[in-house]
């Protein structure tokens, strides 16, 4: 997904081949995303009346996808943004607003239109470092508090391919992907493996994010990373 807008439908299809219904991959994804949700609530502290933008929702509806819409008790305060028509999403979450967005275009919302913006498992797919930085800037532009979560490169099992350990090294991961018929995932236009250092490099000038581990907690090998900025707070 070479864009700053949301999750690619093909990417979703490929990911959920690994985390298929009732598989171990799906069960682990649910555990991780439930913890990510808890961290969203802990850091963003949403009030009942506050508005939330969820960028990069999936039109694949299952027990692992779209954690915010599945769990947040005030679904009517959510505006979900995605690249597709959103038919399955709208049917599953009728109280949430849905807005279709365009690849490689700014988000179609005014500055600080929302109290909170969140995005899960999208930033690693936007196609380049330049696009990643633009994605972060757009979320900061449209919301006061921003929470971004991504898979951690150093989780022992790579999230998209289920390849163990070799993704710690770029060349080894690329070779493994090509040998296993998963070459698309070795292309940075589809996937950029994320570390704390890479997340920190995307910080907008003059801001001080909180960056930490989330998901399945294994210290530096935890399943996910988060990046939180409060543009209305200190720093």
Secondary structure (DSSP) of 112-155:
T-EEEEEEES-GGGSSSHHHHHHHHHHHHHHEEEEEEEEE-TTS
Output phi, psi for 187, to 5 deg: -95, 120
In this prediction, residue 21 carries a pLDDT of 61
Indicate whether 88 belongs to any domain: yes
In angstroms, the CA 112 to CA 29 distance is 31
In this prediction, residue 3 carries a pLDDT of 38
Whole domain around residue 119: which residue ranges?
9-230
Burial category of 19 from C-beta neighbours within 10 Å (exposed 0-12, middle 13-18, buried 19 and up) = buried
Rg (CA), the chain: 16
Average pLDDT over residues 216-229: 98
Q: Which of 6, 86, 102 is nearest to 53 (CA)?
A: 6
Indicate whether 143 belongs to any domain: yes
H or E element, residue 99: strand 97-100
Q: Do the Cβ atoms of 211 and 125 come closer than 8 Å?
A: no
Indicate whether 4 belongs to any domain: no
Indicate whether 2 belongs to any domain: no
Q: Whole-prediction pTM value?
A: 0.90
In this prediction, residue 22 carries a pLDDT of 60
Burial category of 83 from C-beta neighbours within 10 Å (exposed 0-12, middle 13-18, buried 19 and up) = buried
Average pLDDT over residues 212-230: 97
Indicate whether 3 belongs to any domain: no
Q: Do the Cβ atoms of 149 and 155 come closer than 8 Å?
A: no
Number of domains in the chain: 1
Indicate whether 198 belongs to any domain: yes
Indicate whether 118 belongs to any domain: yes
Model confidence at 24, pLDDT cuts 50, 70, 90, reads confident
Indicate whether 213 belongs to any domain: yes
With a CB cutoff of 8 Å and minimum separation 6, the contacts of 106 are 4, 138
The CATH number of the domain holding residue 142 is 3.40.50.150
Average pLDDT over residues 145-172: 96
């Amino acid at each position: 997904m070479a864009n700053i807008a949301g999750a690619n439908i093909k990417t979703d299809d490929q990911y959920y081949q690994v985390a298929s219904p009732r598989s171990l991959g799906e069960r682990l994804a649910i555990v991780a995303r439930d913890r990510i949700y808890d961290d969203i609530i802990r850091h963003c502290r949403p009030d009942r009346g506050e508005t939330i933008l969820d960028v990069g929702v999936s039109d694949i509806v299952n027990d692992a996808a779209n954690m915010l819409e599945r769990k947040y008790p005030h679904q009517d305060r959510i505006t979900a943004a995605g690249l597709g028509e959103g038919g399955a999403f709208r049917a599953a979450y009728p109280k949430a607003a849905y807005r279709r967005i365009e690849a490689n275009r700014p988000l179609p919302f005014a500055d600080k239109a929302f109290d909170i913006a969140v995005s899960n498992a999208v930033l690693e797919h936007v196609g380049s470092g330049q696009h990643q930085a633009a994605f972060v800037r757009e979320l900061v532009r449209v919301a006061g508090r921003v929470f971004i979560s991504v898979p951690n490169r150093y989780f022992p099992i790579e999230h998209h391919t289920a390849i163990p350990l070799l993704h710690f090294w770029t060349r080894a991961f690329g070779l493994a992907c090509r040998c296993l018929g998963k070459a698309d995932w070795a292309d940075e236009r589809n996937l950029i493996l994320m570390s704390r250092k890479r997340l920190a490099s995307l910080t907008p000038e003059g801001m001080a994010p909180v960056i930490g581990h989330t998901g399945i907690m294994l210290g530096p090998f935890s399943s996910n990373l988060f990046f939180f900025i409060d543009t209305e707070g200190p720093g």
